[in-house]
Every structure is written in C-alpha cells, then in structure tokens.
Amino acid sequence: MAPDYGDGIPEERSRPNPVWKIAMVSAPAFLLLSTAWALWIWWKKSQDDSVDPRLALVSVAAEVEELEDSLHKLSQVLGPRDWESVEGRINMRRAIAFIDGTLSPRNYGFAVRKGEQLAHAGERWPTVWVDLVGVGDPMRILLVNAAYDRSDAAIALVLAVARDLRDEEFGPTIRFVFHPAQLYRGQAEEKLLPEILGKNELHSVTLVPEGPGGGTGSAPRGPWSGAQLKPLADAFAQRVRESASVR
C-alpha cells in the first residue's frame, strides 16, 4: 500500500520523468555515434590522394623562392666568376663552397664528394658531386651536369633538381656533378668521366639543363628570376626521371 501522509489519502509512489530516462539513454548513444562518424570522416580524408590546392601553391612559392635565392647568391652576393682575375677565381671558390653547403647533409641531405683536382694558374680546382643512389642498378650512372664556372641559371637548376628528386627512388644512380668547364675544354666528357666514375661503374647518359631561352647549361648569366626558372626546373626534373627509367 502507498504511504499515508496524514490526510487519509494514500499517496502515489513517484515515478521517474520519462524525458530524463530518454536523455540518459540517448546521450551515450549520441556520443558513440558522433565519435564513429568523426573517425569515418578522418579515415575518408586520409584515403583521399588529392592535394589541397592551397598547399600546392605554398610548395610552388617555396620552390620559386629557393631558385631566386640561389640566383641572388650566385650573381649578386658571391660576385662574377672568371679564370683571368684573382677576384674572379676567389668568387669561383665561393661558388664551390655555396654548392657544397647547399647540397650538404645539413641542408639538402647529400654526402658531398670531390674528385681529383685540376690545375690552373698554380691552383687546384675540384669537380664536386653527390649521388642519389639507385635501388635497382646502382652501378649504372646517370650524370646530371652543370659547370660552376659558367651559368648561374644552370647551377641553380641542377641544385633544384637534386632537391626535388632526393626523396624519390630510381633504378640507376643519379650523380649531380658540378665541374670547371674551362679546364675540360676540348675534351670535356673524355676527361670528366674517368674522374667521377668509380670501379665497375657504367656511364649511362649525361644530361645538362637548358637555360632560359632554350640554350644549354652554358647559357649566359642573364638576370633570370626564380619564376622564369621554375618551369625549366620542372621540365628538367621530369627529363631526368624519364632517363632514369630507360634501360
């Protein structure tokens, strides 16, 4: 029997409010479902291979800025290079140091090597290179070449391609080479190859970048900009990829 509180009328036992009962059941279910939905959305996004166009624009801007920086340092900060003057040869040494530092482990992540040095005006001049070691046929060597005594644009392009390809894998080894063209003049490849190819290494092909306007790596040191060089760097990188895939 229900309790009597003195008025002679039995009191009804209180019952829980059905709204609260529904809320207590539905709240955990809602949290569970919302969590599952959020996880599904995250998974779908992680499976999406498309690139956010904003990120692509940032990447392009960074690459143009890097090319611009290389050109500025080579042409403005380091100064003009030549073999005839003491100052020109000092600037050549600075250019070699710039190439070395840019490619080094603390920057682009390569181990820099220097070949047997050639003599000029009583001084020794090295050939500098780095390797992107092949995973399938590492003894087959594809050379990507720029002369450090000539075009600023060619140096900047080869540096950019080395940076762009460093995280990719190829069958042969891609060797990025910077050499003193003046000291190889007349017999460039015949002298260069024995110096930079090791025992049992087989030369595959030598590639040099085209300068702005369609010239070769010996294009003049014109006032090129990073924006001008960016499409050339992309095209040259693709040319290297295609050459590395051909057996």
Radius of gyration of the chain (CA): 33
Number of domains in the chain: 2
Statement to judge: residues 131 and 27 lie in one domain: no
Closest by CA position to 242, among listed 193, 157, 172, 138 = 172
Euclidean distance between CA atoms 140 and 200, whole angstroms = 9
Statement to judge: residues 63 and 35 lie in one domain: no
Statement to judge: residues 38 and 57 lie in one domain: no
Statement to judge: residues 225 and 160 lie in one domain: yes
Sequential pLDDT tens for the chain (247 residues): 555 555 555 555 555 555 555 555 555 655 666 666 665 565 555 554 444 443 333 445 668 899 999 999 998 899 999 999 999 999 999 999 999 999 999 999 999 999 877 888 889 999 999 999 999 999 999 999 999 999 999 999 999 999 999 999 999 999 999 999 998 876 656 667 778 898 899 999 999 987 554 444 444 445 688 888 999 999 999 999 999 986 6
Tell me, yes or no, whether 3 lies in a domain: no
Statement to judge: residues 97 and 215 lie in one domain: yes
pTM of the model: 0.72
Statement to judge: residues 109 and 185 lie in one domain: yes
**Can you give the pLDDT at residue 184?**
83
Structural domain span for residue 19: 13-43
Statement to judge: residues 71 and 35 lie in one domain: no
Statement to judge: residues 188 and 219 lie in one domain: yes
Q: How far is CA 219 from CA 152, 154, 184, 208, in A?
A: 9, 8, 17, 11
Q: How far is CA 176 from CA 29, 38, 81, in A?
A: 60, 47, 21
Statement to judge: residues 116 and 151 lie in one domain: yes
**Can you give the pLDDT at residue 23?**
52
